[in-house]
Amino acid sequence: MLSVNKAKKIYKAQSGDVVALNGVDISFKENGLTFILGKSGSGKTTLLNILSGLDQLTEGGVFFLGEDISKFSEAEMDKYRNIETGIVFQNYNLIESMTVYDNIAVALEIQKGNNKDAIDKKIKEVLEYVNLEEYENRKVTELSGGQRQRVAIARALVKNPCIILADEPTGNLDVETGFAITQLLHNISEAGSLVIMTTHNMQLL
């Protein structure tokens, strides 16, 4: 479903070229939890940004269902980003001024075609799934790190994507909370989606 072929990424920095990916080949499985393990600076964020369509390769390609994503039309790329993939970041990337509910609603509003009732139903379901059903009206600034990461996972999951990309989702959390988040992502992958998670922490494997 998803593969990377001879992926090379070179950043043009002031001090010269930085080779962040140097000929990466990966063929991901259809589903399940896949870890990408690497120390800081090894190119994990670069790879996930490229898999999610946020950034582009210098050479090589990312293929989704056999199609080179760099050749997607604008509409195809919107679909890839808004429906087919969901992203979770180390620092959550939630909108701090908004409630839990509204943060998740954003993901459904950009999908279009969801009416208010459908949005409401999906948000309630996903919040129950991540064990935050009582928190929908809380502002995200009033949540713990682990709870914020659950909201970020809910925001990715509510789109019902076939791929979830999680970049060091446990990086800001204590060990116990990190394991709980990894378990949640594992459960999501068992339900049928492909979850790709980067980490520099061997103990999570």
Residues binding ligand ADP (CB under 6 A)? 11, 13, 18, 20, 38, 40-46
Spatial separation of the C-alpha atoms in residues 77 and 47, rounded to whole Å: 17
Q: Strand order of the sheet with strand 16-27?
A: 16-27, 2-13, 59-64, 67-68
Q: Which is nearer to Mg ion, 75 or 202 (CB)?
A: 202
Q: Which is nearer to ligand ADP, 49 or 177 (CB)?
A: 49
* Nearest approach, Cβ of residue 186 and Mg ion (Å): 21
Largest Cα–Cα distance of the chain, in whole Å?
53
* Nearest approach, Cβ of residue 44 and ligand ADP (Å): 3
* Nearest approach, Cβ of residue 119 and ligand ADP (Å): 33
> 146 contacts which partner out of Mg ion, ligand ADP, none, CB within 5 to 8 A by kind?
none
Q: Which is nearer to ligand ADP, 44 or 148 (CB)?
A: 44
Closest by CA to 150, choosing from 74, 197, 88, is 88
Q: Which is nearer to ligand ADP, 43 or 161 (CB)?
A: 43
Binding mask of the shown chain, residues 16 to 55, with x at each position contacting Mg ion by CB under 5 A: ----------------------------xx----------
Q: Which is nearer to Mg ion, 20 or 108 (CB)?
A: 20
* Nearest approach, Cβ of residue 170 and ligand ADP (Å): 14
> 155 contacts which partner out of Mg ion, ligand ADP, none, CB within 5 to 8 A by kind?
none
Find out whether 33 and 58 touch, Cβ atoms under 8 Å: no
Instruction: For CA atoms 31, 33, 111, 49, give the dihedral sign.
Output: negative
Q: For the chain, where are the E strands, in sequence order?
A: 2-13, 16-27, 32-37, 59-64, 67-68, 85-89, 163-167, 194-199
Q: Are strands 67-68 and 59-64 parallel, antiparallel or unpaired?
A: antiparallel
Spatial separation of the C-alpha atoms in residues 203 and 8, rounded to whole Å: 29
* Nearest approach, Cβ of residue 196 and ligand ADP (Å): 13
Residues at the site binding Mg ion, with contacts judged by CB under 5 A: 44-45
